[in-house]
């Protein structure tokens, strides 16, 4: 048990999927896992453990933004010995070639700042995904008939961003999409020598203004869960 996770030793599996929304964690656990049980509900941030194809898996909500994600990633690693952490969530598309409903598998995650920034001081650390997970995720997506976008994303620390000039530079430098958590997840995982990946669905687009209807989001989210599970246990 930790300050933010009210579970016991052994309640969490070594592989943890991390959606931001705790109710998406509940939906994913009930939809894709067998023998599911609730292992955390502190502050309403739900966590579940079950099995997928005979493998133990946990799904824990992370909340919105890098500070919240950092709390759960640190505690899952340090206190519950999580070895593989995969973010599954939505993002905003930034490139014209990236369409709403597309899947992005994040190789790198650029940020202005993260909760870990003060550790590095003068160094601009480059947060990257685990190569094996990334390779497995691409293969899993293609096996589903999905051609994912693979490359860099931008992890923003603000949702209501008033820096159009910054977004323009992200687009100019080939950034595929924007979300709010992956850069810190990759950094924390690197610190503890663990595996991390972010698999994202494009729910809206910064250039076109198009947005995925709410009724379609669950189906697209399911594709991400399947890709993440296959990548973890390939």
The catalytic residues are: 204
56 is in an annotated binding site: no
What is the three-class DSSP state of 195? strand
* Residue 50 assigned ligand-binding role: no
The closest alpha carbon to 89, from 211, 186, 182, 187, belongs to: 182
Backbone Cα Rg of the chain: 16
| Strand, coil or helix: 34 | strand
The answer on whether 55 is annotated among ligand-binding residues is: no
Determine if residue 227 is labeled as part of a ligand binding site.
no
In the beta sheet, which residues pair with residue 196?
85
135 is in an annotated binding site: no
Looking at the chain, list the stretches that DSSP marks H as alpha helix, in order from N- to C-terminal side: 22-32, 66-80, 117-120, 131-143, 164-172, 182-191, 214-233
CA distance 43 to 183: 24
Residue 90 assigned to a binding site: yes
Q: Is 226 marked within a binding site?
A: no
Q: Classify residue 217 by burial, with Cβ atoms within 10 Å: 0-12, 13-18, 19+.
A: middle
Q: Is 151 annotated as a binding residue?
A: no
219 is in an annotated binding site: no
Task: List, as residue ranges, the binding site.
Answer: 4, 20, 24, 43, 87-90, 179-181, 203-204
Task: List, as residue ranges, the binding site for a purine D-ribonucleoside.
Answer: 4, 179-181, 203-204
Task: List, as residue ranges, the binding site for phosphate.
Answer: 20, 24, 43, 87-90
């Amino acid at each position: 048990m930790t300050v933010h996770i009210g579970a016991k030793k052994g309640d969490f599996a070594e592989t943890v999927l991390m959606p931001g929304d705790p109710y998406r964690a509940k939906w994913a656990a009930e939809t894709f896992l067998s023998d599911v049980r609730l292992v955390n509900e502190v502050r309403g941030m739900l966590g579940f453990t079950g099995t997928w194809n005979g493998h133990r898996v946990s799904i824990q909500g992370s909340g919105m933004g890098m500070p919240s994600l950092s709390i759960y990633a640190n505690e899952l690693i340090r206190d519950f010995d999580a070895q593989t952490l995969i973010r599954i969530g939505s993002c905003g598309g930034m490139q014209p070639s990236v369409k709403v409903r597309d899947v992005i598998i994040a190789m790198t995650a650029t940020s202005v700042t993260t909760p870990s920034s003060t550790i590095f001081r003068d160094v601009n650390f480059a947060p990257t995904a685990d190569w094996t997970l990334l390779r497995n995720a691409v293969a899993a997506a293609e096996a589903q008939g999905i051609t994912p976008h693979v490359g860099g994303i931008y992890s923003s620390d603000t949702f209501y961003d008033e820096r159009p000039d910054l977004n323009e530079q992200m687009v100019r430098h080939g950034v595929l999409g924007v979300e709010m958590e992956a850069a810190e997840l990759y950094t924390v995982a690197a610190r503890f020598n663990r595996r991390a990946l972010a698999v994202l669905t494009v729910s809206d687009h910064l250039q076109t203004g198009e947005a995925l209807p709410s009724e379609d989001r669950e189906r697209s989210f399911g594709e991400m869960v399947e890709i993440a599970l296959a990548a973890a246990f390939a």
